[in-house]
Amino acid sequence: MTSLDDLPLRDDLRGQEPYGAPHLHLPVQLNVNENTHPIPEDVARDIIEAIARELLQVNRYPDREFTALRDSLAGYLGHGLTRDNLWAANGSNEVLQQILMAFGGPGRTVLGFPPTYSMHSIIAHGTGTEWIAGERDADYLISPETAVDWVTRTKPDLVFFCAPNNPTGTALGLDTIAAAYDATDGMVIVDEAYAEFMPDGEPSALTLLEGRPRLIVSRTMSKAFAFAGARLGYLAADPAVTDAIRLVRLPYHLSALTQAAAVAALAHAPEMLAMVDDIKAQRDRIVDELTELGYSPWPSAANFVLFGGVDDPAALWQALLDRGIIIRNLSIPGHLRVSAGTAAETTAFLDAMRELTVH
């Protein structure tokens, strides 16, 4: 059988591991931080009508500039942003890849702060950008001083923050982002995939964009918007940043059907986001009840909870799987991560945890 070693693969990809969240279909899927609530039926009907209209014209290439979608995204984000500040792609992973193609690449470096979203380093490797692993302070925090210290010492071309951070759920102060920005001539990217789950009134890095042309805030419709299967991520930044990305994107990268679906969904933003408060309540319930069971959940500003105090994470993960429940083992010693689901799914998880916890 042919193996990778038999192929003339790029040397820098040899020995690398692909993104590997197990993709299993089980009654309770709380492993990849999806929104487990289905989208409301009236919204679904609007989306289908919008897609049907576009389908009659798919013999033509889509709007390469996805103007209507950028208008919708700007309207959703607010903060005085316009279509010129917005860019979108097939998931925020593609947005991050385009950023690294434009601003990273061979001979360039990107600084990140593990434990963090595994795709940040995987996309770095894929684009030939060297990944520099910074270190966090205690409790997974990053103080402005720590960020500045790492930026000053390693002089990266890009800095990646993830706020709230996956997989820890940790919030990040805007002072840290601003300090890192001032300490570098490179690009600063804030991955805000979970922004909608932050505590009410907590400011987004969007508030820092004004006057900071090297700052990029990336967002996604995959989580709060329950749109993971549709693939729509986006960024907000100075218009010059979107012009830079136009140099590397493939023409017509966003299909007409994707554009239509996203515009239709954004027109129902309040309805699409109605379950966010419920998910936050389930998240808080997970933190409370796991604490009662003797585990050590970390405070979370996202739709998932990382919890410690697990003697054998692999064994507990498997025991939950045997009960039809999948959560995530990220190889953080003594820890597992669980996404907040519907009330029923969360109850199923917590009931199983109670059974499996020996007192």
Ligand X SMILES: *Cc1c(COP(=O)(O)O)cnc(C)c1O
Asked whether position 330 contacts ligand X by CB under 6 A, the answer is no
Those residues with Cβ within 8 angstroms of residue 246's Cβ, 6 or more apart along the chain or in another chain: none
At closest approach, how far in Å is the CB of 33 from ligand X? 6
CB neighbour list of residue 125: distance below 8 Å, 6 or more residues apart? 12, 13, 16, 131
Taking the complex as a whole, how short is the minimal distance between the CB of residue 234 and ligand X, in angstroms? Answer: 9
> Of 87-95, 100-108, 201-209, 235-243, which segment contacts ligand X by CB under 6 A?
87-95
**Binding-site size, ligand X (CB under 6 A):** 14
Q: Considering the rule CB under 6 A, would residue 66 count as an interface residue with ligand X?
A: no
What is the closest distance, in whole angstroms, from the C-beta atom of residue 111 to ligand X in the complex?
Answer: 16
Q: Judged by CB under 6 A, does residue 298 bind ligand X?
A: no
Task: Choose which of 35, 85, 170, 220 interacts with ligand X (CB under 6 A).
Answer: 220
- Based on the shown chain and the rule CB under 6 A, indicate whether residue 228 belongs to the binding site for ligand X: yes
Smaller CB separation from ligand X, 33 or 289: 33
Contact flag: residue 198 with ligand X (CB under 6 A): no
303 near ligand X, judged by CB under 6 A? no
* β-pairing verdict for 325-326 and 28-29: parallel
Task: Single out the residue of 30, 162, 320, 348 in contact with ligand X (rule: CB under 6 A).
Answer: 162
Contact between 124 and ligand X by CB under 6 A: the answer reads no
Query: Judging by DSSP bridges, how do beta strands 109-112 and 158-162 pair with one another?
Result: parallel
Output the smallest distance, CB 89 to ligand X, in A: 8
CB-nearer residue toward ligand X: 122 or 183:
122
Non-local CB neighbours of 233 within 8 Å, separated by 6+ positions: 88, 89, 90, 91, 92, 93, 94, 95, 218, 219, 220, 221, 222
| Nearest of 50, 58, 10 to residue 261 by alpha carbon | 50
The neighbour count for residue 102, using CB atoms within 10 Å, is 19
Coil/strand/helix, residue 91: coil
Q: Which of 112, 233, 297, 313 touches ligand X (CB under 6 A)?
A: 233
Contact code string over 91-120 relative to ligand X, x by CB under 6 A: xxx-----------------------x---
CB 205, CB 174: distance < 8 Å = yes
Give CA–CA dist 31/302, Å, rounded. Answer: 14
Q: 70: phi > 0 → left, psi -120 to 50 → alpha, else beta; which?
A: alpha
Binds ligand X (CB under 6 A): choice among 33, 129, 204, 300:
33
Nearest distance from C-beta of residue 75 to ligand X, angstroms:
20
What ranges in the chain are assigned the alpha helix state H? 41-55, 67-77, 92-103, 118-126, 144-154, 174-183, 239-246, 256-266, 269-272, 276-292, 313-322, 343-356
The span of 70-78, 90-98, 100-108, 173-181 binding ligand X (CB under 6 A) equals 90-98
The correct pick among 127, 166, 184, 259 for binding ligand X (CB under 6 A) is 166
Contact 113, 159 (CB under 8 A): no
Minimum CB distance to ligand X, residue 53 (Å)? 25
Closer residue to ligand X (CB): 169 or 297: 169
Q: Which is nearer to ligand X, 47 or 226 (CB)?
A: 226
Q: Which of 121, 203, 109 is nearest to 163 (CA)?
A: 203
**Least distance between ligand X and beta carbon 117 (Å):** 4
Structure tokens at 266: 């954004």
- Position closest to ligand X via CB: 91
Structure tokens at 166: 């996956």
8-37 as b/e: b if 16+ CB within 10 A: eeeeeeeeeeeeeeeeeeeebbbbbbbbbb
> Rounded to the nearest whole angstrom, what is the least distance from the CB of residue 80 to ligand X in the complex?
24
Instruction: Give the residues lining the site for ligand X (CB under 6 A).
Output: 33, 91-93, 117, 162, 166, 191, 193, 220, 222-223, 228, 233
